[in-house]
Structure 1
């Protein structure tokens, strides 16, 4: 009799675990005749949940809350569009110009704006830039981005001169933030909407064109720009904000399990240990994702050589946690104890949540086994369970 303790990963509850047990059992039945799959559904008792029903969310994010005013939504989403594509508004201006044709009298608008952007010196606005966490070099880098964007408009494009100036100023502001983000790191530069408005106003004043509409949704392009802004807001920000409780509830078992394990991990490890001791004879621990982290922690902190003959982790983050020095049982640089069982670590290079262990733990302590499930990104993270070569390897090498 071969016993496998099946330890699931994040987000698995109830029927999902039952389905996983059935799938593993069915795929190994013909390969391992005398097989016992030992259940360890730790998520039901020790997984994360919104214990207060989501009361930690702002009131505006709960069902029945009032959406943000339309003008605010359009402005915020407009900046989001420029962040994703700094040329978005110039593309709309170019499209609008094509519908109206080209006129010789309009030549000066594009040429003048191009000259003003070319002559722009970040040092002239150093005080304003510094107050918002930016540097003159950020604006100087944004200048080239703006010049590239202006190339979308031929010199004879029939555009309103002041409208083009405002669009160029907003492009420069968005590109300045983007360049500053590379210095500030993943969190980005600490600038709010008022800072962006101030930079746009300062640029217009620097060009001798103070005043005017400084919002992202400008007068002439509003018929074209507003549907784009509304569309972006509806499909991204508004959806997340208006359904934040639903989204949080859906995401809690996945993200929450990881967070909860970091502070309540002893409960999950105890559940794995109980499953290991629940059957007679030796067992193989087969653990997916966060379940692999918990299993590594358990076997590194307890001597279970008499019970556990092998550990198989699948799409696990244990090597990543170890490299971060975030593995509960073992500080980075400390080797696994001699009591640790034979360990195989299955991974698919396309699985963004899978990590390899040989180069961090040592090839003498863990063996990485590569699989190609032919599934993209997060689909690959669970595709091991439907991958017949995985079961052929598991039965032939480990079991």
Structure 2
């Protein structure tokens, strides 16, 4: 008996050798008389950037023609990148700017100087702020019968029509043209009924503060509508900004008011926690780094026959029963090979047991993207026993049994590595329970 290990996507020689040494040690300890071999395919069938990455925006040669290195241009973000990052944060949490105003207010702990870049955000003090500082100061008293400025904004928000008409109203026309109309009523309710809006309005005692609350509310409603629309939204940045302007005006605010305080707090945070600025600055390097893992999968899907032929040769090269162990993409290739061969009535010689670990083969089968089988098609006669091992925290691992119901050859086994993704995708090989289950499957298949 022998074991043949087929590695997964993105693995190259150095990584393969370390991984296989571990697998061989563990299998040999349990099967001292078995041959344990590997089928390394990364260099021959793995993906590379054939044109040197010329298709990748931002990937530039190093050094420059004159020998000087490129400057590090990732330090100062482009204003468009900063704006994109802010809206990415708003789409994830539409109320985040209102939350800043509700919790920090304007004259909170430490006063105005605590705000980043000075008291009025990155653009410095504006004329309106200087004019209204006396109005903005909350001394705990209010004129009888006079509604606080922030509460007045909330009243205007509550009075907005939940379904502006698509004709004769610019806001309604924009909402319908961008695909946001369906989610707009829920977006209004989300903002109007939130504790964040109530808290921000309560702190806004002056007109300048109320204008900022109006801007934050308009951005929150627009962001919530965009988030609800998801991929169905057809909204440009200019259309989004115009919706914010129209809503701000209807809430009694000033469309040119920047909302400096919330932006000052969240602007840098957005750049840190969203991915787009990083992608813009480092896309080339990230693409090159991701090429082995992602590229191997894409290349296999387009030209997998070469790898399958190579595996067939290696399996059939030695007589006797063979246990095939495929990790990730290696498992996909083995499922394809064994199913295609069995369907032709020429099962791969010696392939008595298939073990897939962290494999996407069942998911591709459901999608109709598995080369060997159409969705709903049964595994052909001659396909060997199949043990599929997964960790529920591994997002690249899927269940085989439920998609091949009633097939006694197929079984799933859960391994708990106690690691998050992506570490769990490679953590199987040190788990004793994996090898215990393989040993059980070998006994069940009566391989000796």
Residue correspondence of structure 1 range 1-399 to structure 2 within 5 A: 2-59=1-58, 64=70, 70-94=78-102, 95-99=104-108, 102-103=138-139, 104-105=141-142, 108-124=148-164, 125-135=171-181, 137-147=182-192, 148=194, 149-153=196-200, 155-158=202-205, 160-181=209-230, 187-207=231-251, 209=253, 211-213=255-257, 218-232=259-273, 236-302=275-341, 303-362=346-405, 363-398=407-442
Q: Deviations over 1:40-94 (max 9, x none)?
A: 1112111122222221112488874866864323222221221122222122223
Inter-partner Cα distance in structure 2 for 1:383 and 1:337: 32
Aligned counterpart, 1:184: none
**Local SS of the residue matching 1:120:** coil
Q: CA RMSD in A?
A: 2.4
**Local SS of the residue matching 1:311:** strand
**Local SS of the residue matching 1:122:** coil
In structure 2, the CA distance between the partners of 1:7 and 1:127, relative to structure 1 (3 Å rule), is: same
Compute the TM-score of the two structures, normalised by the length of structure 1: 0.89
Structure exhibiting the larger radius of gyration computed from Cα positions: 2
In structure 2, the CA distance between the partners of 1:61 and 1:108, relative to structure 1 (3 Å rule), is: farther
Inter-partner Cα distance in structure 1 for 2:256 and 2:337: 65
Q: Answer yes or no: is the 8 Å Cα contact 2:400–2:410 preserved in 1.
A: yes
**Local SS of the residue matching 2:3:** strand
Q: Answer yes or no: is the 8 Å Cα contact 2:149–2:201 preserved in 1.
A: no
Task: Quote how far apart the aligned CAs of 1:227 are.
Answer: 3.4
Q: Answer yes or no: is the 8 Å Cα contact 2:148–2:205 preserved in 1.
A: no
Inter-partner Cα distance in structure 2 for 1:208 and 1:376: 48
Inter-partner Cα distance in structure 1 for 2:31 and 2:79: 64
Inter-partner Cα distance in structure 2 for 1:14 and 1:33: 26
Inter-partner Cα distance in structure 2 for 1:157 and 1:59: 45
The more displaced of 192-201 and 275-284 is: 275-284
Inter-partner Cα distance in structure 2 for 1:281 and 1:225: 65
Inter-partner Cα distance in structure 1 for 2:393 and 2:41: 27
Q: Answer yes or no: is the 8 Å Cα contact 2:328–2:396 preserved in 1.
A: yes
Inter-partner Cα distance in structure 1 for 2:160 and 2:400: 52
In structure 2, the CA distance between the partners of 1:397 and 1:239, relative to structure 1 (3 Å rule), is: same
In structure 2, the CA distance between the partners of 1:346 and 1:96, relative to structure 1 (3 Å rule), is: same
Q: Answer yes or no: is the 8 Å Cα contact 2:214–2:252 preserved in 1.
A: no
**Local SS of the residue matching 1:285:** strand
Task: Quote how far apart the aligned CAs of 1:372 are.
Answer: 2.1
Q: Deviations over 1:102-147 (max 9, x none)?
A: 3445962221111111111133232111111221x42211112212
Q: Answer yes or no: is the 8 Å Cα contact 1:107–1:156 preserved in 2.
A: no
**Local SS of the residue matching 1:152:** helix
Q: Deviations over 1:304-358 (max 9, x none)?
A: 3532111111111111111111110111122111111121111222222111112
Q: Answer yes or no: is the 8 Å Cα contact 1:97–1:158 preserved in 2.
A: no
Q: Answer yes or no: is the 8 Å Cα contact 2:84–2:276 preserved in 1.
A: no
Task: Quote how far apart the aligned CAs of 1:264 are.
Answer: 0.7
Q: Answer yes or no: is the 8 Å Cα contact 1:107–1:155 preserved in 2.
A: no
